[in-house]
Structure 1
Amino acid sequence: MNMFRRLALASLAAVALVTGPAQAADTIRIGLPTKSYWPTTIAETAVRQRLFDKEGLRAELTVYRSGAESFEAMAAGAVDMTLDPPSLVSNGRRKGVLSRIVAKASMGNYGWQLMVPAKSDLDLKALNGRRIGITAAGSSSDLLAQWTGQDAKIEFARTPVGGNGLVSNLLGGKVDAAVVYSPLSLQLTKSGEARAVLDYAKAVPPNLTQGWIVLDRFADTRGKLVQKALNALYGAVDFMRANRDITVKLIAELYEVPPEIAALEYDTTIMKLETDGSMAGPKIRDAVQLSLDLARVGSPRDVVPADDIISAKFEPVPTKL
């Protein structure tokens, strides 16, 4: 069974679990923000290398159209764990969705670029008053778009098109620019179909851009399950770093990109992901706070303190083959 058929079936199963009997004790339901994005590579590696199995777990993976949608799915009880930026956790707590980041995943916007079609003569300042494609409101692409407007002192219309719609809407002229993640950004650059007017990995100060998240009540009642799932996921990160050829082949297969693009994705993103996941200590607390501060720059609003959205009770121990 190929990956995306399995993910579709997992999605149906997740819906049934919301209203049906309680899930089996050994099942972890993981929500992935969008199809062609590195969390999918991690989770699929953990499945294929049987790392969840080694932890005594069965993993159900469900791909959503954006990080905001996957967070909403967790809030609704459709998945147990997802990956998103700290701002979604902060905004969720203000609205009664009590969740915390249990493991750090990325400390930079690796591969994220603000792109325009190659035939466009627009630069960053010329995007004032234009339409900018994002995956969804509240997503990482939305936060970066808002930060861009504030930092560059321009205004534009943020247009949600979903993760699968970024490229088609950009190249089809339905938006003037788009906040594009890797490996889509790498593929567009390599093909010559689009060019970057801003590289977020260089423009935005290092901060906690993504972390694995669970609801407070799930962490409290199913802590052993959370620990085992994190062990498998960080075991997958270790495996990918130690097995370049296998991982490049997997990326090419999952995202239907040429091997050279998959190799660029490996170097640009996979090799820069966090390997220990620990949320303990002042350094990671400061990285979370900076992430919240940057989000507030883009869209001024109250945020809960970093300490309120961090859980240091889990220390991922990477599963070994």
Structure 2
Amino acid sequence: MHISRRHGLASVVNSVFALVLLALPAAASSETIRVGLPTKTYWPTTIAETAVRQKLFEKEGIGAELTIYRGGAETFEAMAAGAADIILDPPSLVSAGRKKGVMSKIVANAAMGNFGWQLMVPAKSTLGVKDLNGRKVGITSAGSGSDLLALWTIQDKKIDFTRVPVGGGGLVPNLMAGNVDAAVVYSPLSFQVLKSGDAKTILDYAKEVPPNLTAGWIVLDKYAQAKPEVVQKALNALYGAVAFMRNNREVTVKLIAELYEMPAEIAAMEYDNTIMNLETDGNMAAPNVVEAVQLSLDLAKFGGLKDIVPTEEVISTQFKPVPTKP
């Protein structure tokens, strides 16, 4: 049978239209939020994966698409470009972004400290912090949390070194290969290389840096205005995941070990030292949050960043997470 191109196209269109009609009820009942995560082996990934596996996004009536980037700056750029809807990053990126026309705000507080973050050197290295003057230090990316800590080190210790962006997955390999003399390493990677004996800590940022809002969940202003209900539901799911993790140690330790391919012993260290120190409320209207954000921006300025806007322009009190129950 001969079918003209026009007739064939019409048949295809009709078939597709019928399929679309069949899919409409499902599509109308669920919207997907794209979650941007700064690097793989890092606690935001644990939170988001827990929310997915415990079906917390589903219980809120939305879908979630997780994307892992090479660092905080790349994650922020993805949001700015419209490739991610909600991300986790430090306040300094929000501040710098607003100066450049990327209008976003922190909608929920995630962490008040640099838990597990350490400045590390190979185990056989004889270098101390002061000895890094004129040398190379690995960070994930420019403008990321690791970069801020490197800048803080330069200012606080009155030394100077070259910050080398190698991506989250490249910190330890480049440190071990001798491509950098030291690296700002986040947990649980820091715990893993410390336990294995491959590297040692010369500076513990959790102890050295004053408590401040180090990371929060961020959305573009226009997204929060256009889809406030989706933002609220996503935050509910993410903080539901935090609550679940705190109440289910064994399950969470197993997940950390599985996700990051590390021994349960290291996963347990990550749980005790990081997961249990994360913010459970997320409320940006809480009394201590403004001061914590201000201190974070002050530290960023102290570290050399110049694009700082007033604190009230960095935060939004529009949302308060209501943790989703499993």
Report the TM-score range of the alignment, normalised by the length of the smaller protein: over 0.9
Name 2:274's counterpart in structure 1: 269
Which of 122, 126, 129 matches 2:127? 122
Which of 210, 215, 222 matches 1:210? 215
- Secondary structure of 2:317's counterpart equals coil
Letter in 1 for 2:145: S
Name 2:9's counterpart in structure 1: none
Matched, 1:66 2:88: no
Q: CA deviation at 1:301?
A: 1.2
Structure 2 gaps, min length 5? 1-26
Name 1:42's counterpart in structure 2: 47
1:115-174 alpha-carbon deviations (Å, 9 max, x no partner): 000010000101111100000000000000000000000000000000010000001000
- Secondary structure of 2:33's counterpart equals strand
Q: CA deviation at 1:177?
A: 0.1
Which of 182, 189, 193 matches 1:177? 182
Decide whether aligned partners of structure 1 residues 305 and 262 sit closer, same or farther in structure 2, where only a CA change above 3 A counts.
same
Q: CA deviation at 1:302?
A: 3.8
State the identity %: 71
CA RMSD of aligned residues (A): 1.2
The 1-side partners of 2:100 and 2:30 are apart by 29
- Secondary structure of 2:183's counterpart equals strand
Name 1:136's counterpart in structure 2: 141
* Comparing 201-210 and 275-284, the one that deviates more: 275-284
Which of 76, 81, 96 matches 2:81? 76
The 1-side partners of 2:29 and 2:40 are apart by 26
The 1-side partners of 2:29 and 2:267 are apart by 36
Name 2:161's counterpart in structure 1: 156
**Map 1:186-205 → 2, pairs under 5 A:** 186-205=191-210
In the TM superposition, structure 1's runs of 4+ consecutive aligned residues that sit over 2 Å from their partners are 22-25
Name 1:145's counterpart in structure 2: 150
Q: CA deviation at 1:283?
A: 1.5
The 1-side partners of 2:28 and 2:105 are apart by 22
Which of 151, 167, 175 matches 2:172? 167
Q: What is the TM-score normalised by the length of structure 2? A: 0.91
Q: CA deviation at 1:25?
A: 5.8
The 1-side partners of 2:177 and 2:263 are apart by 22
Structure 1 gaps, min length 5? 1-21
Which of 218, 224, 227 matches 1:219? 224
Matched, 1:245 2:250: yes
1:257-310 alpha-carbon deviations (Å, 9 max, x no partner): 000000000001000000010000441001001000000111141410110010
Which of 288, 292, 296 matches 1:283? 288
1:172-227 alpha-carbon deviations (Å, 9 max, x no partner): 00000000000000001100100000000000000000000000000001000000
Contact kept in structure 1, 2:30 and 2:61, CA below 8 Å: no
Q: Which has the larger radius of gyration?
A: 2
**Map 1:300-315 → 2, pairs under 5 A:** 300-315=305-320
Which of 95, 102, 106 matches 2:100? 95
- Secondary structure of 2:137's counterpart equals strand
